[in-house]
């Protein structure tokens, strides 16, 4: 489910609720992708200092360490200021605090909550160390982006998804940004010229910001911590629109599979 916009929407919707909260209890459900890595009771009494985002990870800064949360494919967070229901069969991580209960709901359990002493902790570095630049941050620039593309022979769609050049672009927004840039998903990254790299660079920023403004995309069940869905999906130009007419030129959108992930493109608007 969640790509950068959804994770950032989640962060923004929870940061005021959780910042300053003192952890009172922690309850785990079924195992998630990775173990928490600490005895849950050792988090009791710690205070949440803030919530940051790195790629698709949420970083809860505690006064005694760091809690990394990933939403996987089907995860979402909910915050209950009071009277939360008991955890359901897909609620696998409950963080009870004096300000309310933060709950990770994740049917497929590809998500995770991982404790690390700090960002330099090997546990954190294993997850964050290889991540590329933040596309909505000050370090994202055309020059470095194009230089990075030049070193990769893989199809551009898969380079975007890999997250080691630029983070946060997942399966929906990869197809959408490539449509906006007029580049086919199969185009080899190193073949992309500087002008086209610049179009793609701008498209990434534009698409992610637009999705943020729509509260993200809700295909099945994504919502922010107040249970509100996103609306970007209805604005998608190509994602999940195989066979439907391109919104620009009416050519039927094509679908294909790359690296076991579906891609979508307009054969007229997007050039190899």
Partner DNA sequence: ATTCTCACCTGCGGGC
Partner DNA sequence: TGCCCGCAGGTGAGAA
The CB-of-7 to DNA minimum distance in angstroms stands at: 8
In the list 11, 56, 184, 241, the residue contacting DNA (rule: CB under 7 A) is 56
In the annotation, is 2 catalytic?
yes
DSSP one-letter string for the chain? ---HHHHHHHHHHHHHHHTTPBEEEEEE-S--SS---S-GGGGTT-BEEEEEEETTEEEEEETTEEEEEE-TTT-EEEEESS-PPPP-TTEEEEEEETTEEEEEE-TT---EEEEESSTTSHHHHHHHTT--B-TTSTT--HHHHHHHHHT--SBHHHHHHH-SSBSS--HHHHHHHHHHHTB-TTSBGGG--HHHHHHHHHHHHHHHHHHHHTT---SSS---TTSPPP-GGGG-SSTT-TTSBPTTT-PBPEEEEETTEEEEE-TTTSB-
| CB nearer DNA, residue 100 or residue 230 | 230
CA-based end-to-end distance of the chain: 28
| CB nearer DNA, residue 42 or residue 150 | 150
Distance, CA of 41 to CA of 52 (rounded, Å): 23
Give the per-residue contact string, 223-252, with DNA (x = CB under 7 A; - = no).
Answer: -------x----------------------
Distance, CA of 84 to CA of 94 (rounded, Å): 10
The CB-of-47 to DNA minimum distance in angstroms stands at: 27
Binding residues among 118-137 for DNA as defined by CB under 7 A: 126-127, 130
In the list 22, 108, 226, 271, the residue contacting DNA (rule: CB under 7 A) is 108
Give the per-residue contact string, 60-99, with DNA (x = CB under 7 A; - = no).
Answer: ----------x-xxx--------------xx---------
Q: Does 6 bind DNA (CB under 7 A)?
A: yes
Q: Does 266 bind DNA (CB under 7 A)?
A: no
User: Taking Cα atoms as reference points, which of 206, 212, 167, 203 lies closest to residue 185?
Assistant: 203
The CB-of-234 to DNA minimum distance in angstroms stands at: 13
Catalytic residue among 12, 42, 194, 261: 261
Distance, CA of 227 to CA of 108 (rounded, Å): 19
**Residue 182 — φ and ψ, nearest 5°?**
75, 25
In the annotation, is 39 catalytic?
no
- Binding-residue total with DNA (CB under 7 A): 47
In the list 219, 228, 231, 268, the residue contacting DNA (rule: CB under 7 A) is 219
The CB-of-270 to DNA minimum distance in angstroms stands at: 18
Q: Does 46 bind DNA (CB under 7 A)?
A: no
Stretch that binds DNA, among 11-19, 79-87, 93-101, 260-268 (CB under 7 A): 260-268
Stretch that binds DNA, among 37-45, 137-145, 197-205, 253-261 (CB under 7 A): 253-261
Active site residues: 2-3, 56, 261
Note the residues at the interface with DNA (CB under 7 A): 1-3, 6, 30, 33, 55-57, 70, 72-74, 89-90, 107-110, 126-127, 130, 151-155, 158-159, 161, 163, 170-172, 189, 216-222, 230, 259-262
């Amino acid at each position: 489910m969640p790509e950068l916009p959804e994770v950032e929407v989640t962060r923004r919707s929870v940061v005021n609720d959780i910042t300053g909260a003192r952890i009172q209890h922690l309850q785990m459900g079924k195992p998630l992708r990775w173990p928490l890595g600490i005895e849950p009771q050792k988090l009791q009494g710690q205070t949440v200092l803030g919530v940051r985002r790195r790629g698709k990870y949420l970083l809860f800064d505690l006064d005694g360490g760091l809690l990394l949360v990933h939403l996987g494919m089907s995860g979402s967070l909910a915050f209950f200021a009071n009277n939360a229901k008991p955890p359901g069969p897909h609620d696998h991580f409950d963080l009870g605090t004096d300000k309310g209960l933060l709950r990770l709901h994740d049917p497929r359990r590809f998500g995770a909550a991982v404790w690390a002493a700090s960002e330099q902790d090997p546990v954190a570095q294993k997850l964050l160390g290889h991540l590329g630049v933040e596309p909505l941050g000050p370090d994202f620039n055309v020059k470095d982006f194009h230089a990075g593309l030049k070193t990769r022979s893989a199809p551009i769609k898969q380079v975007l998804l890999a997250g080691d050049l630029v983070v946060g672009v997942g399966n929906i927004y990869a197809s959408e940004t490539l449509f906006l840039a007029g580049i086919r998903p199969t185009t080899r990254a190193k073949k992309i010229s500087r002008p086209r790299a610049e179009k793609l660079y701008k498209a990434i920023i534009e698409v992610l910001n637009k999705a943020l403004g729509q509260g993200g995309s809700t295909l099945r069940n994504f919502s922010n911590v107040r249970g509100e869905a996103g609306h970007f999906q209805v604005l998608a130009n190509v994602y999940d629109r195989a066979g439907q007419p391109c919104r620009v030129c009416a050519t039927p959108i094509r679908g294909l599979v790359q690296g076991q992930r579906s891609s979508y493109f307009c054969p007229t608007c997007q050039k190899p």
